[in-house]
């Protein structure tokens, strides 16, 4: 079931913890919602989305230096790269979509800017940060 298709362009395998542990069912519920949001972005950008990191078990999250209250632990976050777009272009476009394009199915609360990727998450409040060096 690891390669289960969640949306047209995303499968469960892409969201698994990199340590190889089993994803809890409560996390899978969130991953399904996260995948639906990424599918909206995939259609908007008309380009493939690479998921660098999605679900992280607490142990793996700690090992890589993630914050203890990370949305990744809940299965609500994904660090992405979109082919043909810089991380800044990705963040700017998503921010613009959230502000100016009404889409009731797009539920991105967290948007983080990094040098090599963009963090998105489906928390239920708005959070923005810039960790570019």
pLDDT tens-place string over residues 97-118:
999 988 889 999 999 999 999 9
Spatial separation of the C-alpha atoms in residues 50 and 126, rounded to whole Å: 23
User: Would you list the domain boundaries of the chain?
Assistant: 12-130
Predicted local confidence at residue 101, as pLDDT: 86
Distances in whole angstroms, Cα of residue 54 to Cα of each of 16, 50, 77, 99: 7, 11, 6, 24
Element (H, E) at 89: helix 87-100
Distances in whole angstroms, Cα of residue 59 to Cα of each of 2, 7, 10, 53, 114: 21, 28, 25, 14, 23
pTM: 0.94
Predicted local confidence at residue 2, as pLDDT: 59
pLDDT tens-place string over residues 43-73:
999 999 999 999 999 999 999 999 999 999 9
Q: If you average pLDDT over every residue of the chain, what do you get?
A: 95
Q: Which CATH architecture has domain 12-130?
A: 2-Layer Sandwich (3.30)
């Amino acid at each position: 079931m690891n390669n289960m298709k969640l949306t047209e362009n995303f499968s469960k395998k892409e969201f698994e913890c990199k340590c190889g542990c089993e994803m809890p069912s409560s996390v899978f519920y969130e991953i399904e919602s996260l995948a639906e949001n990424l599918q909206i972005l995939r259609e908007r950008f008309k380009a493939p989305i690479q998921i660098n990191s999605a679900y992280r078990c607490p142990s793996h999250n700690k090992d890589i230096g993630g914050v203890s209250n990370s949305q990744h632990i809940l299965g609500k976050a994904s660090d992405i790269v979109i082919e043909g777009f810089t991380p800044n272009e990705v963040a700017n476009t998503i921010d613009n979509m959230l502000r100016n394009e009404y889409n009731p199915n797009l539920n991105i609360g967290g948007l983080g800017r990094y040098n090599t990727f963009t963090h998105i998450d489906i928390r239920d409040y708005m959070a923005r940060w810039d960790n570019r060096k």
